[in-house]
Each structure stands twice: as C-alpha cells, then as structure tokens.
C-alpha cells in the first residue's frame, strides 16, 4: 500500500506540475510580474493552510532561502513561455532540474552528503541522456501564439487614456526578433531550471545536518512537510520584493491585468498541491526514486500541453526532434531510477 500511495502521489505531482503554467497560455499576462506575484501569494496561502492541517514543526528560517531561489527562477516562467512556448520551455526546464538534482545528491554538492547507488553506470548514463535531451531541444523550433484578451485595462493605474492601455505587445519580450526570442527563451529555461533544481537544497542541507552536534541545525525535523511553510514564506516575500522593485522601476504604473488574477491563484494552487504530493511520495518511496520520475514526468506533461493542445510544434522535422527529446528525457529518468534499485 505504501508503494501504491507513493506512485499515486507521483502521478498527481507530475500532472499538476506539468499544468501549472498552462494559465499563461490562456490569458494575457503582460510582462508576467503581476502574474508571478499573484501565483506566489496563492502558494503562501495554501502552505499556511497545509501548515495548520499537518501541525508542522517550525523549521529554521534558513529554509526560506529555498523559497528565495525558487521565486527568482519563477520570474522567468512567463517570458520563457512567450519566447519558446510551454512544451519546449518546460521540457528544457525539467531536464536541467533533473541534472542539478542528480548532481547535488550524487556528488554531495552545496554541502549535502553524497549518495551511493547500486548501479553507478546506469546512473551516469541516465544523467547523460538528460543532458543529451537538452542539446536536442536547441534544434526544435516552436510556433508561439500569444493569448488574445479583451480585458487588459489596468486596475491600479488612474487617469490613463485608451492609448496608454497595455496590450500584449507591451511585454518586453515582444520587442525582440523571432531568432533573439528563441535564444533568450532557451537561456531563461536553462537558468530557471538550474535555480529550481537548487530550490530544495537548503531543506536537504538542514535535514542532512540534524545529527551533527556541532551544527546549528541539530535536532531539526526530518519530515519534509515541516519545511513547506518556511519555503513558501520565502517565495512570497521574495516575489513581493521583486514586485515592489518592478513598481518603482515602472514609476508607480505597473501593468496589472485583471483576467490574470484568478489564473494566477490557480497556478499557485496547483503548484502547492503538487509539492505536497511530491513530498508525500518522498515519504513512501524515497527521493532517489521520486525526483527523476516527477521532474521528467512533468516535463512530458507540459510537452503534451504544448504540442497537442496549443500546437506549438509544427512540421514533421520539428515534431520528430521534439518526440525524440521527450523520449530521451524519459529514458534518462528511468535509467536513474533503475540505478537506485
């Protein structure tokens, strides 16, 4: 039963993580700063509810650093989707998350304890396939369609004429050429993936050093749920700081899109539930199994959204390369799993 619950939790995390950016394709989000802040506020609210339900033990404030890293990477989510699309962007994202998560655990980066695996050759082959998939994705061309919204009037800006109302073209991404947008989108996806892969490192560092008598984290909780609220608080505080800086840079004329409010809260809700499901799967199966399954899985779910629903990948050659990269990511994740069994 533990394994059944674990794999069901993995499945839920895969579907929700792979879908939480979908609202960006459905409504106009402008430059994405307001959408990012709204989704982070939703994440904090859900973690607060979860903290009450699970009666979590208070985590050290250091766990908030993971939220700072995550919120920094999340700033690039909307520009990434606008540049190269949902499917291609999230698949890039997931492959880099998997590589960072694998390297930090396997070699003990960032002060973590290295983990040995029964079959190291399979483990290295799995990581190599994930790296290969990222290389293949560089050659895939995507056709990104911007959502058309009839309600783009800002709600926090007064006394503006109709000519000042922000349109989808107001996003700084749309000022670049198609070639530059593609290069920029790939760069953002790589950097965001690296940051997301590091976002759970502070929590793991604390857990790894709880038994060290000379550490300030001695006696800290070994339960992942206990760190959710601290990390979500770091996410919300950091996103608020970034949004404040954005408002100052815009001279108190931020671009606010009313239709992005509810989708933003929905995105944060899906991410929060997915995170709790992932941590529940870790409890039943262990992170060595769940990390490659979830990261590769949500990349494939996002790839299906982008290629099947939104038709971002067109042309036989592009579709073939995209399918090949998806299969390579899946194969790399499976090899990583089998190496730990």
Residue 239, phi then psi, degrees to nearest 5: -65, -35
From the list 165, 235, 189, the residue with the least C-alpha distance to 78 is 189
Distance CA 223, CA 135 (A): 36
pLDDT, tens digit (0-9, with 9 covering 90-100), for 88-140: 888 888 888 878 877 887 787 887 777 777 888 888 888 888 778 878 887 88
Higher pLDDT, 297 or 272: 272
Q: How far apart are the first and last CA of the chain?
A: 19
Q: Which tokens is 34 given?
A: 């307001």
Helix axes 287-304, 2-19, angle to 10 degrees: 40
What is the rounded (10 degree) CA torsion for 220, 226, 228, 233?
A: -70
Mean pLDDT score, 271-295: 84
> Environment class of residue 142 by beta-carbon count within 10 Å: exposed (0-12), middle (13-18) or buried (19+)?
buried
Cβ proximity of 225 and 56 under 8 Å: yes
What is the domain partition of the chain in residue ranges? Answer: 2-143+157-339
Cβ proximity of 101 and 77 under 8 Å: no
From the list 222, 277, 228, the residue with the least C-alpha distance to 5 is 277
Cβ proximity of 34 and 178 under 8 Å: no
Distance CA 255, CA 76 (A): 17
Per-residue pLDDT at 142 exceeds 50? yes
Distance CA 31, CA 94 (A): 23
Distance CA 201, CA 205 (A): 6
From the list 87, 113, 97, 105, the residue with the least C-alpha distance to 305 is 87
pLDDT, tens digit (0-9, with 9 covering 90-100), for 288-323: 778 788 888 888 888 888 888 888 888 888 888 888
pLDDT category of residue 170 using cuts at 50, 70 and 90: low
């Amino acid at each position: 039963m533990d394994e059944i619950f674990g794999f069901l939790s993995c499945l839920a995390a895969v579907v929700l993580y792979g879908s939480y950016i979908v609202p960006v394709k459905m409504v106009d989000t402008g430059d994405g700063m307001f959408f990012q802040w709204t989704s982070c506020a939703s994440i904090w609210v859900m973690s607060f509810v979860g903290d009450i339900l699970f009666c979590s033990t208070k985590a050290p404030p250091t766990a908030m650093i993971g939220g700072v890293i995550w919120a920094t990477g999340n700033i690039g989510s909307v520009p990434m989707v606008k540049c190269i699309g949902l499917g291609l962007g999230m698949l890039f994202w997931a492959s880099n998350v998997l590589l960072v998560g694998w390297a930090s655990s396997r070699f003990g980066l960032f002060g973590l304890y290295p983990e040995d695996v029964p079959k190291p050759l399979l483990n290295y082959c799995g990581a190599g396939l994930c790296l290969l998939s990222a290389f293949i994705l560089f050659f895939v061309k995507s056709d990104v369609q911007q959502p058309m919204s009839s309600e783009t009037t800002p709600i926090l800006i007064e006394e503006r004429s109709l000519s000042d109302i922000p349109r989808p073209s107001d996003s700084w991404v749309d000022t670049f050429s198609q070639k530059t947008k593609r290069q920029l989108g790939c760069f953002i996806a790589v950097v965001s993936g690296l940051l997301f892969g590091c976002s759970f490192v502070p929590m793991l560092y604390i857990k790894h050093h709880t038994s060290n008598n000379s550490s300030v984290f001695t006696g800290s909780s070994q339960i992942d749920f206990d760190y959710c609220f601290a990390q979500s608080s770091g996410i919300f505080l950091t996103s608020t700081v970034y949004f404040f800086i954005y408002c100052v840079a815009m001279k108190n004329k931020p671009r606010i899109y009313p239709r992005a409010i509810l989708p933003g809260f929905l995105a944060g809700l899906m991410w929060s539930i997915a995170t709790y499901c992932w941590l529940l799967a870790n409890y039943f199966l262990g992170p060595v199994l769940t990390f490659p399954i979830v990261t590769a899985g949500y990349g494939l779910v996002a790839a299906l959204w982008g290629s099947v629903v939104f038709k971002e990948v067109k042309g036989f050659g592009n579709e073939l390369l995209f399918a090949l990269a998806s299969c390579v990511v899946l194969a790399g994740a499976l090899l990583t799993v089998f190496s730990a069994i």
